[in-house]
Amino acid sequence: MTGPAWTVRWAAPELLRGDVPGLASDIWALGWVSWEAVTGNFPFDEDSNVLAIVRITKGDLPTVENDDQLKQIKTLCSMMRECWKLDTSKRPTAAKVQQTISFMDQAAPSRPEGNNLSGTRSSALLFALGWIQRRNTMFPEAREYFEQSLKVAQSVGDEEGKAWALKAIGDTWHLQGEYSKAEEWYTQARDTYSQIGSELGFAQSVKGLGDVSYMRNEDSKAEELYTQALNIYSKIGDQLGFAQSVDSLGDVYCIRGDHSEAEELYIQARNISSQIGNQLGFAQSVKNLGNVYRMRKEYSKAEESYIQARDLSSRIGDDLGFAQSVNHLGDVYFIQKEYSRVEESYMQARDICSRIGDQHGFARSLEGMGHVHSEQGEYARAEESYLEARRIYHRIGNMYSMAKLSWDLGYLHVEQAQYDETVRLFREASAIYAGMGLEQDVEDCNDVIEEILLLTA
């Protein structure tokens, strides 16, 4: 750092033009303080003072996205760019900067007792390293750090650190689509938080269990868990958790077809996220609003929402949110029969999901590609995509999506007049739906089977 002395290299353009220093110029300087703290480089270190002044007044600033030390912390990069806006009215306020920083990665707030200071610090450090890996969508690496953190916490009797690690391990399994494993870890975390009297941690674990139920299409159970978490967040005044639970309740209403209620909940969650400066939550709610518009066949509004969510996810470094938004854009383009854009979207999402280890997203991209191939009469390629996606859904325990793919494969064989295989696949789908208690889906499968049998009698 340059130390307590002020440097012209921190000076905002308006100061160089003779304006009086103020909050806006301080915010500009804060961007450079952040730059120095992370990179260890003096601003414009290769330029003279005169050349530095010329570059500042012209807005010729370093490109933070190309800096190896900064590209892994995109939320901070985004904040720095906002601080360096030439238009002073467009720079963030001090409160906005504080909000943004509050959502950046940080270690678990462990407060050790007795002589275990070194051990709990090690646990918190390992947790922080895992969180950074998770934030960069390196889920297996993140889980390894969290498991190490758990072992250290257990060895020194740090129950709070133990609970944090249990919940985080559950998160990594959930993000990779391993729902049974996620449920196991969330349950352990919930029970540990209950024992130590942490309402916040308890609510977070219940919310995680709700996510697992939602992904299994157990919507009534998911609604119950989300509502339980929401009520706790409301009681303790946690707006972040409250907004996340409201957004998740919107998901439940969306899959039930109650789009008006879902839209209302998504807008509420989006507005709260905006107020507290949670860009990740804001992007999630915008994406979910896109889902509502797509289901209402308001495709222009859906595309607009998905693009907004995609661009925001890119700016803050959320690869998972980016891939989800791109996948949904593929859905819109498929409905509009823009097949070149469909294929491009699904392939982009597939590659990102493969890189970050998101098995559910990877399978969903393959499923989308299968639809494209089927629509274009490329049945062999469609079957290949469907079968690979179905194998993944089976492995991660997503039985509803597996049944849906058996249905899609059944229709694929109808197109090829392979009726025996069609009947087998619809019976397979029917059995899965029956096991899940989805009577209407079972009836739909049986109706198709009956039609096929009459056709071939």
What tens digit of pLDDT does each residue of 302-319 get? 999 999 999 999 988 888
- The conformation of residue 92, written as its DSSP 8-state character, comes to P
- Name residue, tokens 């803050």: 316
Can you tell me the distance from the alpha carbon of 402 to that of 430, in angstroms, rounded to the nearest whole number?
Answer: 11
Token representation of residue 257: 């077809």
- Residue 168 or 127, more confident: 168
Specify the amino acid at residue 38. V
Residue 183 resides in a domain? no
Helix (H, G, I), strand (E, B) or coil at 81: helix
Can you tell me the distance from the alpha carbon of 196 to that of 188, in angstroms, rounded to the nearest whole number?
Answer: 13
220's CB contacts (< 8 A; 6+ apart) are: none
Residue 254 resides in a domain? no
HSE-CB for 250 with a 13 A CA cutoff? 25
- State the DSSP string of 318-384: -HHHHHHHHHHHHHHHHHTT-HHHHHHHHHHHHHHHHHHT-HHHHHHHHHHHHHHHHHTT-HHHHHH
Residue 35 resides in a domain? yes
- The answer to which of 27-31, 62-66, 165-169, 429-433 has the lowest mean pLDDT is 62-66
96-146 per-position pLDDT tens digit: 787 677 666 554 444 444 445 445 557 888 888 888 788 766 788 889 999
pLDDT recorded at residue 395: 84
Nearest-10 Cα torsion for 94, 99, 105, 111: 100
Can you tell me the distance from the alpha carbon of 215 to that of 208, in angstroms, rounded to the nearest whole number?
Answer: 11
Strands, DSSP E only, in 86-183? none
Specify the amino acid at residue 82. E
Residue 205 resides in a domain? no
Can you tell me the distance from the alpha carbon of 244 to that of 262, in angstroms, rounded to the nearest whole number?
Answer: 13
Token representation of residue 444: 């739909």
Nearest-5° Cα angle at 455, 449 to 457: 100
- The answer to which of 183-197, 234-248, 438-452 has the lowest mean pLDDT is 438-452
HSE-CB for 381 with a 13 A CA cutoff? 11
Residue 18 resides in a domain? yes
HSE-CB for 166 with a 13 A CA cutoff? 25
Residue 14 resides in a domain? yes
100's CB contacts (< 8 A; 6+ apart) are: 75, 78, 79, 92, 277, 279
Q: How many domains is the chain partitioned into structurally?
A: 1
pLDDT recorded at residue 68: 53
Residue 91 resides in a domain? yes
HSE-CB for 133 with a 13 A CA cutoff? 20
For 157, phi then psi, to 5°, come to 75, 30
For the domain that residue 68 is a member of, what is the CATH number? Answer: 1.10.510.10
* Pair 2, 42: CB distance under 8 Å: yes
Can you tell me the distance from the alpha carbon of 321 to that of 318, in angstroms, rounded to the nearest whole number?
Answer: 5
Residue-number span of the structural domain to which 46 is assigned? 8-102
- The conformation of residue 91, written as its DSSP 8-state character, comes to S
Residue 291 resides in a domain? no
- State the DSSP string of 252-294: HHHHTT-HHHHHHHHHHHHHHHHHHT-HHHHHHHHHHHHHHHH
32-55 per-position pLDDT tens digit: 888 777 676 777 777 777 788 888
- Name residue, tokens 């450090």: 125
Can you tell me the distance from the alpha carbon of 259 to that of 183, in angstroms, rounded to the nearest whole number?
Answer: 28
Token representation of residue 53: 């002044």
- Residue 388 or 217, more confident: 388
Can you tell me the distance from the alpha carbon of 457 to that of 253, in angstroms, rounded to the nearest whole number?
Answer: 42
Band of residue 14 on the pLDDT scale cut at 50, 70, 90 = confident
Specify the amino acid at residue 52. A
Q: How far apart are the first and last CA of the chain?
A: 83
